[in-house]
Homo-oligomer: A and B are copies of this chain.
């Protein structure tokens, strides 16, 4: 059997991914209307795959489809943040709990390597890369937890959080604190204390909410 290439991605998937990146990069701001015709001209495609891509993004909550009115990038309110962060704290706490119980030696080595990157990027004040390594760390913990559905839900919610411009901005002022929390998290996982890992992760996420709130206050003034 020839190693058939596994599921060549369809055009609408590529378009969805490109739009995701543009939305996450805040190139298209929340509240903005997405002009189908303009995008088809921009990407050099027809409206069919674009519209299908928008349906996918709508299901993810990144855009809102208003019948006969068009497609708008979802706006996240302060209340949404107050609802999503505690939920994320609950879910990622569970991830940490399960990951701690299931982690093999190789898994520990993995997240330790990622944590080492965090230490370096923090020391060198490489905020962007720190942000990425941070995501990789959380992603890895979710994977180790071994619950596909838990991972999926967490990642979907994280996508929504990334809509907030303040979310990425807030990372900067929180670099040292975040690093400290990650040290405690890694220690908890390595010690095998699942309950502790859960608590540390939970509080780590909630601290993220506080940082966004502070950034918001600074931003407004």
In the assembled complex, the Cα of A157 lies from the Cα of B160 at a distance in Å of 18
Chain B residue with the shortest CB-CB distance to A47: B48
In the assembled complex, the Cα of A68 lies from the Cα of B8 at a distance in Å of 8
> Interface-forming stretch among A55-63, A112-120, A121-129?
A55-63
In the assembled complex, the Cα of A68 lies from the Cα of B10 at a distance in Å of 8
Copy total for this chain? 2
- Give the size range of A's interface with the partner: 20 to 34
Contacts of A10 in B (CB 8 A): 65, 67
> Interface-forming stretch among A142-150, A163-171, A206-214?
A142-150
Contact indicator per residue, chain A 78-92, by CB within 8 Å of chain B (1) or not (0): 001001101100110
Contacts of A51 in B (CB 8 A): 52
A87 touches B8 (CB 8 A): no
Q: Smallest Cβ distance from A101 to chain B, in angstroms? A: 13
B48 touches A55 (CB 8 A): no
Contact indicator per residue, chain A 26-63, by CB within 8 Å of chain B (1) or not (0): 00000000000000000000001001100110111000
Given A52-B52, A59-B56, A59-B60, CB of A149 within 8 Å of CB of B9: no
Contact indicator per residue, chain A 1-27, by CB within 8 Å of chain B (1) or not (0): 000000111101100000000000000
In the assembled complex, the Cα of A10 lies from the Cα of B9 at a distance in Å of 27
Residues of A within 8 A of B (CB): 7-10, 12-13, 48, 51-52, 55-56, 58-60, 65-68, 80, 83-84, 86-87, 90-91, 94, 147-150, 153, 156-157, 160
Q: Given A56-B58, A86-B147, A87-B147, list of 7 further CB < 8 A pairs? A: A8-B68, A48-B48, A55-B56, A55-B59, A87-B149, A87-B153, A90-B91
